[in-house]
Structure 1
Amino acid sequence: MRYLLRKLGFYAIAAWMAITVNFFLPRLIPGDPVEMMLARQAQSGPVEPGQEEALAAMLGLGHGNLLVQYGDYLHALARLDFGLSVTYFPSPVTDVVGDAVPWTLVLVGAATLLSVALGLTLGMLAGWRRGSWFDSLVPSTTFLAAIPYFWLALLLLYLFSQVWGVLPLGGGYDETLDIGLSGAFLGSAAEHAVLPAATIVLSSVGGWMLGMRNMMVSTLAEDYVVAAEAKGLPPRTIMVGYAARNAVLPSVAGFAISLGFIVSGSLVMEIVFSYPGMGFTLLQAVQNTDYPLMQAVFLVITFGVLAANFLVDLVYGFVDPRTRQAR
């Protein structure tokens, strides 16, 4: 219980810091965001009286000193009121983000779990069979990890969409279909997700495989593994129950650390494929100077990474009980 409370306290402070940084972001931007938007509005027509106050409220800037503005910001955040989106005006930011989150969550979640499971399994086998032909293939897989997300995405897009024409060029689904749980829509969404998911898996599986392989080789030399072999236990029991269980611990911690890089990389990947997730939404917000939408996307990504790190900390504490002991 003390371990859980310590973790909750740490992540509560991290969440408060993220919220505070998000509050100051529009105020740190050079110039006045409201004036910038009014100037752009003036190019297409006259600015109506009171529009400046409306824009300030929509952006969450408010009036008064910073303390009053910060209190208004926290009150609006508690109601999940991020204002209206400039890009998709007059749609609320909450609706825009709510439409984009499931696309990224399903795509990145499935691709990340697949790459981790595949990399750890192959790394375990390579470490167990060290010195074999299979083990000699490990260094070549790290080449994929060195390739930038966007470059690999462009390469896959060119080969499978332009040259061979077997997969869609971009987007999240066939726009002639209605969004729903119909077989046609789900099949179209799965087809459009193949290349983005393959980009994530190919870019990250090599790193997981190499890390697990090296830890397996180190763990196999430990005394408890040698003792298990001397007892005549089945090789599968030794490999999974003794060696892999302990070798996977650094990978569990590494998963939490690398999650932020996976999410940021997926943002670029979504932009390349015009995939209707958080990355593509963020691009639209930046291009249209949509500060409310940018703030909401920032908070969703930050809280997503914090939540994933918190869950990984809990899993790590269960796998290795020593981490629950207070120092």
Structure 2
Amino acid sequence: MKYLLRKVLLYVFIAWAALTMNFLIPRLMPGDPVSLLVERLNGRIDPAAMSAIAESYGITDDPLLVQYLDYLGSLARGDLGLSIGLYPVPVADIVMGALPWTIGLVGTTTVISFVIGTALGVVLAWRRGKRTDLLLPGLTFLNAVPYFWMALILVLVFAVNLGWFPVSQAYTPGLTPGLTPEFVGSVLYHAVLPAITIIIASFAGWVLSMRNMTVTVLGEDYVTMAEAKGLPRRMIRLDYAARNAILPSVTGFALSLGAVVGGSMLTEVIFNYPGVGYTLFQAVQNQDFPLMQGLFLIISLAVIAANLIADVVYVFLDPRTRQEG
């Protein structure tokens, strides 16, 4: 359809712009990775190796267009450069090592909080004016609580005071990563507090937004007309109200899924969880610009892909978009 084709072309252009900005910004900044690496090593680098190191970071005397084409070729091969803080470890290896932890933790909890929050929001909208409205002040409070504050409280109560859960890390130190019951159990055990933190701090927002949107939709003329026709209440609530009310939440959910790749930085930092957010925090601390550049690129592309998926879902949820095509 024309609608989807326009969207795909738009996001391809946005992705190209993100790649280009990722190429230009480091080259417009003062200094370069090689100088920073030499400074870190107190000048203990063989001058003969300097040119090879500079070339590994894409710093050459070639014209900018040639460098740009080499940069795109490197990206096509999955080459994001070399880390400064962990030189000469490739940035791609560091990113791929952090991604599974973030996707496993933040991705799973984002889906859980969205499903629970959306379903509860619809129920609260159907029961507006009843005792269930007493939940709204508590939900509003939870929606205003910052992630890091919730994480600190949970760590203090359940890890420090009660000792029920570990304070940090993704698994018990000394264990060999693998699909063994001991390792998997340790990963799940260490993920409990970070997961609860993210779910509690995010699901309230889904509840409130879905409830408010559903209440608005229930007051629309076409819902009143459906009630006047005597259609079953279940059909009115699901097919007329909930289906239309969830459209804005789909966009928010897509953005949340895109942000999953970036991780919940403060939560990961508090729990020393080795995800993308914690890796980005360490990269900033270490002034590891190639690693930051690679992480920002991956996060940007993830957000773009998530928005494209949201537009595809819109086509199936909202017939009006198909008519535009």
Structure 2 length-normalised TM: 0.92
- Structure 2 distance, partners of 1:29, 1:155, is 40
1:36 corresponds in structure 2 to 36
Q: 1:91 to 1:263 in 2, by over 3 A?
A: closer
Q: Does 1:109 align with 2:107?
A: yes
CA-to-aligned-CA distance 1:57-105 (integer Å, 9 cap, x gap): 2322333232222122111111111233233333322222111111111
Contact 1:149 1:265 in 2 (8 A): no
Shift of 1:233: 4.3
Quick one: percent identity of the two aligned structures?
Answer: 53
Distance in 1, Cα, partners of 2:265 & 2:91: 18
Equivalent residue, structure 2, for 1:150 = 148
Q: Residues 179-190 of structure 1: matches in 2 within 5 Å?
A: 179-190=177-188
TM-superposed deviation, 1:27: 2.1
**Cα distance, 1:264 vs. partner?**
5.0
Q: Which digits, 9 at most, give the CA deviation of each residue in 1:297-319, with x for residues without a partner?
A: 11111111111111111101210
Q: Could you tell me which residue of structure 2 aligns to residue 14 of structure 1?
A: 14
Which amino acid counterpart does residue 309 of structure 1 have in structure 2?
A: N
Separation in 2, partners of 1:262, 1:297 = 12
Matched, 1:100 2:98: yes
CA deviation vs aligned residue, 1:127-175 (integer Å, no higher than 9, x gap) = 0000111123123212222222222222222221111111111111112
Counterpart residue number, 1:251: 249
Equivalent position amino acid for 2:124 in 1: A
Stretches of structure 1 that go unaligned for 5 or more consecutive residues are: none
Query: 1:71 corresponds to which letter in structure 2?
Result: L
Could you say what the CA RMSD is over the residues aligned between the two structures, in angstroms? Answer: 2.1
Shift of 1:47: 2.3
**1:64 maps to 2:62:** yes
Report the alpha carbon displacement of residue 272 of structure 1 after superposing the two structures with TM. Answer: 1.5
**How is 1:194-273 mapped onto 2 (pairs within 5 angstroms)?**
194-259=192-257, 266-273=264-271
Farther off after superposition, 293-302 or 251-260: 251-260
Q: Could you tell me the TM-score, scaled by structure 1's length?
A: 0.91
Show structure 2 runs of 5+ residues with no match.
Answer: none
Question: Which one of the candidate residues 130, 139, 142 is aligned to 1:141?
Answer: 139
Which residue in 2 is equivalent to 1:165? Answer: 163
- Distance, in Å, in 1 between the alignment partners of 2:272 and 2:172 is 13
Alpha-carbon distance in structure 2 between the residues aligned to 1:161 and 1:172: 14
Distance 1:142 1:265, change over 3 A: farther
Q: 2:199 is matched by which residue type in structure 1?
A: V
**Alpha-carbon distance in 1 for matches of 2:284, 2:52:** 21
How many equivalent pairs are there? Answer: 325
**What amino acid maps onto 1:101 in structure 2?**
L
Change in CA separation of 1:236 and 1:305 when aligned onto 2, cut-off 3 Å: same
Structure 1 distance, partners of 2:266, 2:88, is 27
Q: CA deviation at 1:261?
A: 5.8
Out of 79-88 and 204-213, give the one that drifted further.
Answer: 79-88
User: Residues of 2 paired with 1:88 and 1:325: CA distance?
Assistant: 53
Q: CA deviation at 1:234?
A: 4.1
Cα 1:77–1:164, aligned 2, differ >3 Å: closer, same or farther?
Answer: same
Residue 176 of structure 2 aligns with which residue? 178
1:15–1:306 contact (8 Å) kept in structure 2: yes
Residues 138 and 206, structure 1, Cα contact 8 Å, conserved in 2: no
Range with greater deviation from structure 2 (175-184 or 252-261): 252-261
Instruction: Answer yes or no: is the 8 Å Cα contact 1:270–1:276 preserved in 2.
Output: yes
